[in-house]
Amino acid sequence: MRAHLTEKLLPFWEGLKDEEFGGFYGWMDTDLVVDKKAVKGCILNSRILWFFSNAWMTLKDDSLKEYADHAYEFMKNYCVDKENGGVFWSLYYDGKPEDTTKHTYNQAFAIYALSSYYAASGNEEALALALELQKIIEEKCFDEYGYKEALDIHFNKVDNDKLSENGVMADRTMNTLLHVFEAYTELYRVAKVEKAAEKLRWMMDVIAEKIYNPALHRQEVFFDNDMNSLIDLHSYGHDIETAWLVDRGIEVLGDDAYKAKMAPITADLEQKIYDRAYANHSLKNECEKGVDDEKRIWWVQAESVVGFYNAWQKAPEKQYFKEAAEDIWNFIKTYLVDKRDGGEWFWCTDEKGNPAMERPIVEPWKCPYHNGRMCFEIIKRGE
């Protein structure tokens, strides 16, 4: 994992630094050609800031500071709406706003990144910005039913097409809640923000009581405004990711009551994913209305390595979880890693490992967050 991080992931993303307009280039096509005038997604920039901050901390390599600083300056100067508050959805290549949607998911990833950057750098301005964004989420993106999602530049509700898929338009999603949870976990870890701790407990209650479906041993994915599930869908990658992120949140909180409440749920999710989705040395994508999507998506494989390794650490007698993590890592190295000079990971493969060559290598969602985090987690857990 350390070799993969230092020899593959870091050189690739370092090479996308935009020295002229700031941030990092937002698109590389399947032929490894960079479009220097492509839109720069703010989620992509947040995840890159998070990646370099954590690489800096994990490897204790001060040469990575310049990349984290570069990403932070771009976020502070361009991604943040200085007039109305919050983080834009995307920017043109030169930093001008392209899509001014204010999505709760996007605010959360900025908090996640800024919290890690603060932990790495000690930059108090970054922490202040993270706290400002948390206040915006709580004051402008929250109502009596939970977190609203898609909002316009002035925080008025709009259609949530950016986080809706599978033919539904969801008011609320498991995915957004999970990443607010992840962001608040990191914010609480680095700054002990009590409001974040309070909302972490609230979100675990929502997961346990509204999102987790004990009869089907899964989470529901897309919801209407009143948190009624909209579709028969099992997102395998999100379930294994949720299991270890909830465990991490409980660990950071140090809350034995919530550990007792959530432990049976995370264990159930882990076992169901192992039994239902782990096949051909890898993890299937999802199951809609009983039909499996057999694509092996890059981020799903990365999260399954961490999720199964975490499951084994909690229950060392279940050696099959560790074996699954190792098996999927071997699948990643063999099939998902792009072995071309200047490549990173393919977007996905089929169940036999044939890569989808029509998909870009970098775009607003394709980033170093999941695969970078896989490396950080296994390195730290193995120390």
Rg, the chain, Cα only: 19
The enclosing H or E element of 97 equals strand 97-99
- In the block, tokens 């009143």 appear at 226
User: In the prediction, which pLDDT does 182 show?
Assistant: 98
pLDDT surpasses 90 at 41: yes
User: In the prediction, which pLDDT does 359 show?
Assistant: 96
User: In the prediction, which pLDDT does 255 show?
Assistant: 97
Handedness of CA 46, 273, 374, 315 (dihedral sign): positive
Provide mean pLDDT across the span 192-205.
98
pLDDT surpasses 90 at 383: no
Q: How far apart are CA 347 and CA 337, in angstroms?
A: 10
Total residue count of the chain as it appears in this document: 383
One-letter amino acid of 162: K
pLDDT surpasses 90 at 79: yes
Angle at 135 between CA 133 and CA 139, to 5 degrees: 120
Q: How far apart are CA 277 and CA 272, in angstroms?
A: 8
Percent over 70 (pLDDT), the chain? 100
User: In the prediction, which pLDDT does 244 show?
Assistant: 98
User: In the prediction, which pLDDT does 140 show?
Assistant: 97
Q: DSSP for 166-205? A: TT---SEEHHHHHHHHHHHHHHHHHH--HHHHHHHHHHHH
Q: How far apart are CA 343 and CA 191, in angstroms?
A: 37
Provide mean pLDDT across the span 343-369.
96
Provide mean pLDDT across the span 156-178.
95
User: Which residues, 6+ apart, have CB-to-CB distance to 8 below 8 Å?
Assistant: 337, 344
* Fold designation for 2-382: Glycosyltransferase (1.50.10)
Provide mean pLDDT across the span 278-300.
98
Going by pLDDT thresholds of 50, 70 and 90, the confidence category of residue 180 is very high
User: In the prediction, which pLDDT does 21 show?
Assistant: 98
Q: pLDDT, tens digit, for every residue of 80-131? A: 999 999 999 999 999 999 999 999 999 999 999 999 999 999 999 999 999 9
User: In the prediction, which pLDDT does 11 show?
Assistant: 98
In the chain, what is the greatest distance between 2 CA atoms, to the nearest angstrom?
55
How many angstroms separate the first and last alpha carbons of the chain? Answer: 12
Q: How far apart are CA 12 and CA 45, in angstroms?
A: 15
Q: pLDDT, tens digit, for every residue of 233-268? A: 999 999 999 999 999 999 999 999 999 999 999 999
Least confident among 45-54, 113-122, 148-157, 160-169: 160-169
Percent over 90 (pLDDT), the chain? 99
pTM: 0.97
Strands 218-219 and 212-213: antiparallel
- Report whether 213 contacts 232 (CB < 8 A): no
- In the block, tokens 């995370």 appear at 266
Provide mean pLDDT across the span 258-283.
98
Give the mean pLDDT of the chain. Answer: 97
User: Which residues, 6+ apart, have CB-to-CB distance to 255 below 8 Å?
Assistant: 201
